[in-house]
Amino acid sequence: MPVYPFYQVDAFATRAFEGNQACVMPMEAFLADDELLKIAAENNVAETAYLVPQAEGVWALRWFTPAVEVPLCGHATLASAHVLFEAGGYAGDVIHFDTVQSGRLSVRRLADGRLEMDFPSAPIRPVPVTDDIVAALGARPLEAWGGMFYAARFDSPETVKSLTPDVKALKTLGAEGEGWDRGNFGCFALGGEGVDATSRFFAPGSGIDEDPATGSWHTMLSRILATHFGLPEATCQQAYPGRGARIDVRLEGDRVKLTGRAVTVIEGQFRL
């Protein structure tokens, strides 16, 4: 019976029950895709990250939701680096991850214990706010952009927090980004409780009605905030009901730095 190390981590969190859940499973080699997807469905959290060592300080990394493999995932990358630093005994300051669709990603351990991720930040473009999207979201955005996802700006953090979208309708709508299907919506407003922007992320197109803390979404949000609102550095709050997370972002050309913390909540073995 094959046995694999298993870690469940709350990412973009300072304690248990905050941020977003990710499972991290180091392996000597990737299993077949259908096996990886079955494991992710069994874990039944937003993403399961699989790690395979490549060289000193370098791991191959793939991410699966319970429904699909995704081209980029921030919180599960943060969780993976956290596991390698804390449980894997990696003594260096920087971990490199080689990914299938997002190239090389790096995570640096800062002096204060936070982890800083270096991610790509894809271009954005204005897109229309259509009546079917308004109906599915249950409120009318002020404006919207396409890129990796459909990004909708609302008038206030209170409007964002009160959204109750029709996720079944959202699944077939929105912007079709590079490597992503429709049905992935970032909804945000400027301001909030001590932050520059407040957002939520609905992802029925990736098999998740709402994601609690989404690093990939913040690579897009960072570009919007820098390009259109003069905020190349920003503190953001993802306002998932009952959990939520704060994510610091800094846009640097075509890259973005995402900073946060993580905590391990479960450690054990996965038996196939």
User: CB count, 10 Å around CB of 175?
Assistant: 20
- Domain 125-253: which CATH class? alpha beta
pLDDT per residue over 19-77, tens digit each? 999 999 999 999 999 999 999 999 999 999 999 999 999 999 999 999 999 998 999 99
pLDDT per residue over 124-145, tens digit each? 999 999 999 999 999 999 999 9
Best CATH choice for the domain 3-120+259-271 from the list 3.40.50.300, 3.40.50.280, 3.10.310.10, 3.30.70.20: 3.10.310.10
Looking at residue 66, its pLDDT comes to 93
Q: What percent of the chain has pLDDT over 90?
A: 89
Residue 154 in contact with residue 148, Cβ under 8 Å?
Answer: no
What's the pTM value of the predicted model, to 2 decimals? 0.91
Whether residue 233 is predicted with pLDDT greater than 80 in this model: the reply is yes
What is the mean predicted confidence (pLDDT) over 5-19? 96
pLDDT per residue over 149-183, tens digit each? 999 999 999 999 999 999 999 999 986 655 567 89
Catalytic residues: 47
Mean model confidence pLDDT for the chain: 94
Domain spans of the chain, in order of start: 3-120+259-271, 125-253
